[in-house]
Amino acid sequence: MRESVRLAELTTLRVGGPATVAECVTTESLVATVRALDTAEIPVLLLAGGSNLLIGDDGFDGVVVRVSTEDVEIGEDGVIAEAGANWDAVVAATVAAGLGGLECLSGIPGSAGATPVQNVGAYGVEVERLLRRVRLMDRATGEIRWVEPGELGFGYRTSVLKHRDDAMVLAVDYALDPDGSSAPLRYGELAVALGATNGESRPAAEVRAAVLRLRAGKGMVLDPADHDTWSAGSFFTNPVVSEARVGEVRAAITAHVGEITIPTYPAPGGVKFSAGWLIERAGFAKGFPGPAAPARLSTKHTLALTNRGDATAADLVSLARTVRDGVAERFGIRLEPEPVTVGVTL
């Protein structure tokens, strides 16, 4: 237990006020700690990699339970990782072991336990496609069991585990390809980078290297020396517009920027638009609002809100609201934040 820890030290956005932190390095200590705090009715914030989290400047009035469980068990056709295991290290270990499937998710900061909560995805792959099961603790009953993917209600960057605190992820189990082939390439930019065709597979190690290069070029691989990586990754999810509103949104975009090719993708419930494209076309360029601002859009990627060194959570909230409201005013689309927020309201 440590008191008065600045939570900015534990998040990739590097903002967040003080709290008491309990560090749990085994699943047994994690379960026991959370059970004890719940019994005592002390508020709990579970935190592992801190990469998809925006914590307010007042901190957290309770105990932050740091999930630092790191065991990884690699089998012939899959991997089981404890919740606190560094996600990119898990991906790297599977690729090194000759297993394919996770390589498109290389370079994503955070922990293994967060991947099913967020239904993490990148470059055409989402974790729900590879997940075999998740080990959960029911905080109301204390029951611990393995849960099948069908119980988790996966959607685009969400699951039934997101924005609730009655279940705690203890471990994740992924089914992988033992021949070392990548998942079929479904993302155009990555396929082009590899000189491959859509749907083709390549060696997982080759795909991982290409993904890391692409992500680094967008400031999406953590680097303490690069303020473009002091972020929560993509801050807004790509909006899905109902079929009934697509024509209206297209007309609003055309009225604002003229006739232009608008990148869209089919999605359950409608049509998916690119949040980064909308942000830039709404007038928010890379680096907005300028070099003097403590919180800015990344200079490499308009979808990332970044801390330039001394930003506060309030600075980031103000920037997020400005961008969100500007896109809504111009195009009639309200962008939704991807990070979990604690002690702040967007």
Cis peptide before 339 (omega within 30 of 0): no
Catalytic residue among 106, 234, 281, 296: 234
Pairing of strands 240-241, 270-273: antiparallel
Q: Is 6 a catalytic residue?
A: no
Integer CA distances (angstroms), 186 to 70, 120, 191, 291, in order: 31, 16, 7, 36
Catalytic residue among 66, 135, 139, 157: 157
Q: Is 157 a catalytic residue?
A: yes
Neighbouring CB atoms inside 10 A of 328's CB total: 14
Catalytic residue among 70, 103, 280, 338: 338
DSSP-derived secondary structure for 123-145: TTEEGGGTEEEEEEEETTT--EE
Amino acid found at 10: L
User: Which DSSP helix (H) or strand (E) runs through 72?
Assistant: strand 72-74
Which bin fits 308, alpha (ψ -120 to 50), beta or left (φ > 0)? alpha
Task: List all residues 6 or more positions away from 88 whose beta carbon is below 8 Å from its beta carbon.
Answer: 106, 107, 108, 109
Q: Which residues are catalytic?
A: 157, 234, 338
